[in-house]
């Protein structure tokens, strides 16, 4: 399967290879006037983060200094500098503490939020479960879940997000718990929505709001529900005889716990299950929701993807071997992630030591923000950036510089689930094209993207679904 970072080879480096002249220590790149404290900039960002960052990039360039007392934040939108930061300077960076404080309320100390040696140990232990081969081994189970779900989808107005959230939750629940959680799917989706809406606001607060505030009720109800869902799965497994455990992520984590309870307490098992369960379905549901819209709004691309699927699969369900054999479908997924990256702004990083980037000498404690979406919508790398053109990712296409398209991030902290989710999205996409045709509802306007941790349509997306004749498969 093609992954994003591997696909985007440099045609021309975004920055020239020649080192830029070194700026004097203590100087900062240009940026908007901060006023007395710079907190006005923060207010601007909390209203429309991507709009504010886009305006400052246009005014000041690819390294923008935001002075918001007491912080110095640098917004980086040059693909080469982003790679230099996340790959070369990886060891001098940690995730932004405020982001961690928000995420750890639900994720505990999982690989998503851990730092230093604790992160390295977790990543090293988990990684083998997420490589291309074990991810591809899950394709038959994914196809089984998709076929079950799609059997219930009917011609007519179709609530896209609800259907896809249930399906992607089902897929990840099978991988983590070997369990069917269909009965709880809609309550879990609502819980996660409430927690995400709260989290999105909390990034701009200096602390987590106290739980007794009436405005916090939905968030805490949601957190309690998700906690109980994961903890019930663990408790049920522990009641089973060990030789009756299915081979899934929970069993592998519990084996680590049995071998070394100090390094892997049950709390750590719970944290990793929670992160995989949440990161594993929400991003996939968001991306597939946008893919459905892109297919509906671009009938020629939909037809070309269907023709490829019909020719390759001849009506059967996709197998692991087919995942790499559907290049046009893969290109439609990449182009969807370019236009609508599930994580439009990478978790901000803080420098733990001084570092030099683009000729500027940044002191320890500088914050760096990487708005992936701005780079992916940059006309320098993607001409007519708002147009849906899967051909950008086709063989022989003029490629954008490395780092200009990175919906999964880059460097050692690149998305752990990228191979798994590419396989999953290819399976769902192919099976969808085999069975249904998608069109926008009459008179429908393009959905408005909003950021609620992941990028989602502002109003729940509904499209027109038409079941295809069997002969079309
Ligand atoms: C289309 C779907 C997905 C997208 C767009 C996506 C995107 C991302 C991004 C941008 C990051 C942050 C990288 C960084 O901070 O540098 C990330 C991290 C992560 N993702 Fe994904 N992701 C997706 C699906 C998944 C799935 C299916 C799983 C698990 C099954 C997963 C698990 C993780 C984990 C555990 C991390 C943290 C890795 C670390 O810090 O070492 N993601 N993802």
Task: Kindly report the number of other CB atoms within 10 A of residue 180's CB atom.
Answer: 13
**Structural domains of the chain in order of their starting residue, each with its CATH number:** 4-14+26-443 (1.10.630.10)
Question: Quick one: which H or E segment has residue 467?
Answer: strand 462-467
Q: State in Å: Cα 343 to ligand 1 middle.
A: 9
Ligand 1 atom at minimal distance to the Cα of residue 275: 35
Distance CA 107, CA 114 (A): 10
Protein residue closest via CA to atom 16 of ligand 1: 409
Question: 88-129: per-residue pLDDT in tens?
Answer: 999 999 999 888 888 888 899 999 999 999 999 999 999 998
Q: State in Å: Cα 279 to ligand 1 middle.
A: 6
Distance CA 103, CA 118 (A): 17
Ligand 1, pocket-test mutation among 416, 422, 426, most atoms within 8 A of CB: 416
- Please report which residue ranges of 203-315 form alpha helices under DSSP H: 217-239, 249-259, 266-297, 299-313
Q: Give residues (CB < 6 A) around ligand 1.
A: 111-112, 123, 275-276, 279-280, 283-284, 287, 342-343, 346-347, 407-409, 413-417, 420-421
Confidence of residue 18 (pLDDT cuts 50, 70, 90): low
Distance CA 286, CA 343 (A): 10
Confidence of residue 9 (pLDDT cuts 50, 70, 90): very low
Are 170 and 180 in contact, with CB atoms under 8 Å apart?
Answer: yes
Task: Kindly report the number of other CB atoms within 10 A of residue 146's CB atom.
Answer: 24
Task: Kindly report the number of other CB atoms within 10 A of residue 44's CB atom.
Answer: 17
Residue 82: its pLDDT value, please?
Answer: 96
Residue 17: its pLDDT value, please?
Answer: 55
Reported residue count of the chain is 473
Q: State in Å: Cα 67 to ligand 1 middle.
A: 29
Q: State in Å: Cα 472 to ligand 1 middle.
A: 35
Residue 204: its pLDDT value, please?
Answer: 66
Residue 182: Cβ-neighbour burial (10 angstroms; 0-12, 13-18, 19+): middle
Are 271 and 253 in contact, with CB atoms under 8 Å apart?
Answer: no
Ligand 1, pocket-test mutation among 106, 114, 283, most atoms within 8 A of CB: 283
Q: Which residues contact 320 (CB under 8 A, 6 or more apart)?
A: 136, 137, 139, 140, 423
Model confidence at 8: pLDDT above 70: no
Nearest to 45 by CA among 325, 322, 274, 367: 367
Q: What is the mean pLDDT of residues 168-175?
A: 90
Nearest to 369 by CA among 84, 25, 85: 85
pTM of the model: 0.91
Q: State in Å: Cα 36 to ligand 1 middle.
A: 37
Protein residue closest via CA to atom 3 of ligand 1: 283
Residue 2: its pLDDT value, please?
Answer: 39
């Amino acid at each position: 399967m093609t992954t994003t970072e591997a696909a985007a080879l440099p045609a021309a480096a975004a920055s020239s290879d020649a080192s830029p002249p070194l700026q004097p220590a203590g100087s900062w790149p240009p940026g908007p006037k901060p006023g007395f404290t710079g907190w006005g900039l923060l207010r601007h960002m909390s209203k429309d983060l991507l709009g504010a960052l886009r305006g400052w990039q246009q005014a000041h360039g690819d390294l923008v200094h935001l002075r918001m007392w007491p912080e110095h934040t640098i917004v980086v939108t040059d693909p080469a500098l982003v790679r230099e930061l996340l790959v070369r300077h990886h060891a001098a960076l940690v995730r932004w503490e405020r982001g961690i404080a928000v995420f750890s309320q639900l994720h505990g100390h999982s690989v998503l939020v851990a730092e230093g040696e604790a992160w390295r140990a977790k990543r090293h232990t988990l990684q083998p479960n997420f490589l291309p081969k074990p991810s591809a081994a899950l394709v038959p189970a994914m196809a089984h879940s998709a076929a079950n779900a799609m059997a219930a989808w009917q011609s007519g107005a179709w609530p896209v997000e609800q259907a896809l959230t249930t399906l992607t939750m089902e897929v990840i629940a099978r991988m983590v718990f070997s369990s069917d959680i269909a009965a709880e799917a809609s309550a879990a989706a609502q819980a996660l929505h409430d927690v995400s809406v709260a989290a999105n606001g909390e990034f701009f607060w200096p602390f987590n709001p106290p739980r007794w505030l009436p405005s916090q009720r939905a968030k805490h109800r949601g957190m309690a529900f998700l906690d109980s869902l994961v903890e019930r799965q663990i408790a049920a497994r522990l009641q089973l005889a060990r030789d009756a455990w299915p081979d899934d992520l929970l069993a592998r984590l519990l084996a680590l716990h049995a071998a070394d309870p100090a390094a892997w307490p049950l709390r750590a098992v719970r944290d990793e299950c929670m992160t995989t369960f949440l990161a594993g379905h929400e991003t996939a549901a968001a991306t597939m929701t946008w893919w459905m819209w892109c297919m509906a709004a671009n009938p020629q691309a939909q037809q070309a993807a269907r023709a490829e699927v019909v020719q390759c699969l001849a009506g059967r369900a996709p197998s692991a071997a087919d995942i790499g054999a559907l290049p046009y479908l893969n290109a439609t997924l990449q182009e969807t992630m370019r236009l609508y990256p599930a994580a439009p702004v990478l978790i901000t990083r803080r420098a733990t030591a001084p570092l030099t980037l683009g000729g500027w000498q940044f002191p320890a404690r500088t914050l760096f923000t990487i708005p992936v979406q701005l780079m992916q919508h940059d006309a320098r790398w993607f001409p007519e950036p708002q147009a849906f053109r899967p051909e950008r990712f086709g063989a022989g296409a003029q490629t954008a510089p490395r780092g200009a398209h990175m919906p999964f991030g880059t460097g050692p902290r690149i998305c752990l689930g990228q191979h798994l989710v590419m396989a999953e999205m290819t399976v769902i996409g192919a099976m969808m094209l085999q069975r249904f045709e998608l069109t926008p509802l009459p008179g429908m306007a393009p959905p408005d993207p909003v950021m609620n941790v992941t990028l989602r349509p502002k109003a729940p997306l509904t499209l027109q679904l038409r079941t295809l004749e069997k002969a079309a498969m």
